[in-house]
Chain A
């Protein structure tokens, strides 16, 4: 059997989304065309927009479709920066590269100053740091971006408090991992901007959305038609938009069930390897993500061995040409370079079963033994 425990990377499309997409792919009509077919496709898109808005708890006009979560993050970070005369960008130190890299790009090319909010050893941002920063330099801050939950550890961030501390400063959250998995309300959080992505929630690849407060105009990344509020140009990807809405409506992800599987898995891991450490365990976490350090191992060896036992998991960190690098997230939580390279991310999703957990636990002891041996020879 093979077991897929990498749902945080991408998760299978649900059947209703595949069905909706198939139907939409056969349908003719550019949503921006004025004739009957165009209007019909436009109706599908706007129906979908309303469903997505209901799920995100925002107004339909606040949904700006993009080609990916990464694009939405870029549009938010760069757009909010360009829209402000202020020069300071504040992000958490555990952001995804889709937020960190555009911020660093603005530092390099547009004269921005980047300040990163540290996190506690549990992986939660330091709110006192943020309060002090806003008190001392609030008038210089163009935007604050803190992810709703972390993609490597699953640790949920106190976004409501961030918004409260921020006051008038626009706050963006990358909610790609949280959306449709944990309760999340754009409106109740008082957010300025929020990012979601299709393929993390049972929808297709190539579709994301930036939720942006209505009547706010930010400079665009893409020009050429102005289809989405003049903030995003490009023919609307009707089949993917429709499929994303179908996935959200189906809500195949049962948080209680996923959480139970994750607990069984973590209990099993700790029984087999009492020295294993579950990163971020003491903080509120997403139901499906488990980031575990196996002392004395190297995660790339473990991944290879897991893969050869037909268990798909992740080293959870950024890759350059496939070369494993120490995770900036775990390092921000105070783990050393070496320890952070001894960690694996297992992420559970809607399609997992208890049998998957049992199978993964059955291969784990041998994998860890071999991983320890492989690491030991490397040190001689």
Chain B
């Protein structure tokens, strides 16, 4: 229970479904801030009080589990090392994979609980191939993308009571249940970067080393303060004084951490028509080498793009019908068959 409205209603619904439920708030920072500022950040002491209050109103026991060390080792460190390697990670996926549906689920099972209930917007269904993961009915809130890193065993231990309802109705329901968090703003951004300034946060921790910004021919046209603070497709903040010959805007095409180089080019050079992902995870039927039709999504709230997908050795491959502009390695590619999550992989190569 984060202290937000979604997990509070999820807990209440789980109780109503007949489960014996306890509320757990995860302390993910060793030195939590006292208050939340606006919609930024989470896991403050105020949030833990909100979670406790919701649990008390629902009438379930409430405990705080200190997962700060696990979170730091598995999520924060990974976030930094991925950026340092020139990739763009998604820490929320990582947290679901390594904390919520791993450290928490394992601990809960050992203590005699059956599973973990969360306020994620996603659905599960039982099928011949076991339990499968599906999009939520609310397309604006659907969080199946950040859950696609879960394997079968993890999905079997997961309960998502909110997937069948739109967010607006969850707030109404929370109000009716007397939960004070009914109108609490949604949290955005990365929870451990409460300022919202990812580049600044990374610079503070990884240092800033001046490096060249080059065009595709390798000609130096500017300088930057740390390659990892850039993302593929970024246009603003490059500080280039030399205009492109045709006057067109330039975009980040590539980040080369070893040489600390940022490569820029024209918009059309961002186009990607196929991607390969490593370490694929499937939570339903396995994907084979035979090409299949489906959709691929590469961002939490990105579009589902028509594609042909297949397994090539250890890599999951998606070939897009229409090219996509700007795709970074490190992002997760999630394959859908209709609204069903087929599986996910970490993008390691684009073309």
Query: Smallest distance from the beta carbon of B187 to chain A beta carbons, Å?
Result: 17
Complex contacts, A377 vs chain B, CB 8 Å: 106-107, 109-110
Assembled-state Cα–Cα distance A55/B107 (Å): 49
Chain B residues with CB under 8 Å of A378's CB are 70, 103, 106-107
For A304, list chain B residues within 8 Å (CB).
22, 61, 63, 111
**Pick the contact of B27 from A303, A305, A321, A373 — CB < 8 Å?**
A321
A270 sits at the interface (CB 8 A): no
Decide if B45 is an interface residue (CB 8 Å cutoff).
yes
Contacting residues of chain A (321-362) with chain B, CB-CB under 8 angstroms: 321-324
Within 8 A of B (CB), among A359-380: 370-371, 373-374, 376-378, 380
CA distance A300 to B63 in the complex (A): 8
Q: A322-B48, A322-B52, A323-B27 are in contact. Are A300 and B65 (CB under 8 A)?
A: yes
| Residue A307, interface by CB 8 Å | yes
Nearest-CB distance from A342 to chain B (Å)? 14
The smallest beta-carbon distance between B112 and chain A, in angstroms, is 6
Contacts of A371 in B (CB 8 A): 111
Contact B110 A322 (CB under 8 A): no
Give complex CA distance A355, B100 in Å: 39
Most chain B beta-carbon contacts within 10 A, residue among A303, A322, A376:
A322
Within 8 A of A (CB), among B31-53: 32, 45, 48-49, 52
Given A300-B66, A321-B45, A378-B103, A373 and B110 touching (CB < 8 A)?
Answer: yes
Please, which residue of chain A has its CB at the minimum distance from the CB of B70?
A378
Which A residues are in CB contact (< 8 Å) with B103? 378
User: Which chain B residue has the least Cβ–Cβ distance from A307?
Assistant: B61
**Bound: A370/B112 CA distance, A:** 7
Which residues of the partner chain A approach B112 to less than 8 Å between Cβ atoms? Answer: 305, 370
Cβ distance A314 to chain B, nearest Cβ, rounded Å: 13
CB neighbours of A324 from chain B (8 A): 64, 66
Residue B25 at the A interface, CB < 8 A?
Answer: yes
B64 & A322 in contact (Cβ 8 Å cutoff): yes
Question: How long is the Cα–Cα vector from A80 to B49 in the complex, in angstroms?
Answer: 36
Chain B CB within 8 A of A308 CB: yes
Cβ-closest chain A residue relative to B61: A307
Q: Chain A 181-211 against B: per-residue CB contact (8 Å), 1 yes, 0 no?
A: 0000000000000000000000000000000
A374 to B22, CA, bound (A): 16
Contact pick for A321, options B32, B70, B107, CB 8 Å:
B32
Instruction: Verify B66–A301 contact, CB threshold 8 A.
Output: no
Q: Which residues of A contact B32 (CB under 8 A)?
A: 320-321, 323
Residue of A whose beta carbon sits closest to that of B20:
A308
Q: What is the CB-to-nearest-CB distance from B342 to chain A, in angstroms, rounded to a whole number?
A: 28
Are A301 and B27 closer than 8 Å at their CB atoms? no
Contact at B61–A322, with CB atoms within 8 Å? no
Contacts of A376 in B (CB 8 A): 110
Contact with A along B18-31 (1 / 0, CB 8 A): 00001001010000
Q: Specify which chain B residues have a CB less than 8 angstroms from the CB of A373 in the assembled complex.
A: 110-111
* Inter-chain contacts of A374 with B (CB < 8 A): 107, 110-111
B69-111 vs A: 1/0 string, CB under 8 Å? 0100000000000000000000000000000000100110111
Q: What is the CA–CA distance of A192 and B99 in the complex, to the nearest angstrom?
A: 53
Q: Please, which residue of chain A has its CB at the minimum distance from the CB of B46?
A: A321
Determine the residue in chain A with the shortest Cβ distance to B112. A370
The answer to whether A308 and B110 have CB atoms under 8 Å apart is no
**Minimal beta-carbon separation of A15 from chain B (angstroms):** 28
CB contact between B111 and one of A305, A321, A322, A323 (< 8 Å): that residue? A305
Complex CA gap A320/B33 in Å reads 11
> With A and B bound together, what is the CA distance between A301 and B66 in angstroms?
11
Report chain B residues within 8 Å CB of A321. 27, 32, 45, 48-49, 64
Binding site for A on B (CB under 8 A): 22, 25, 27, 32, 45, 48-49, 52, 61, 63-66, 68, 70, 103, 106-107, 109-112
- Listed by A's residue number, 13 A-B pairs whose Cβ atoms lie within 8 Å are A300-B65, A303-B63, A304-B61, A304-B63, A308-B61, A321-B45, A321-B48, A323-B64, A323-B68, A371-B111, A374-B107, A374-B110, A376-B110
CB within 8 Å of B: which residues of A? 300-301, 303-305, 307-308, 320-324, 370-371, 373-374, 376-378, 380
Q: A321-B32, A321-B64, A377-B106 are in contact. List 15 more A-B contacts (CB 8 A).
A: A300-B66, A301-B111, A303-B63, A304-B22, A305-B112, A307-B61, A321-B45, A321-B49, A323-B27, A370-B112, A371-B111, A373-B110, A373-B111, A377-B109, A378-B106
Interface pairs A-B: 5 shortest CB-CB: A373-B110, A322-B64, A377-B106, A374-B110, A321-B45
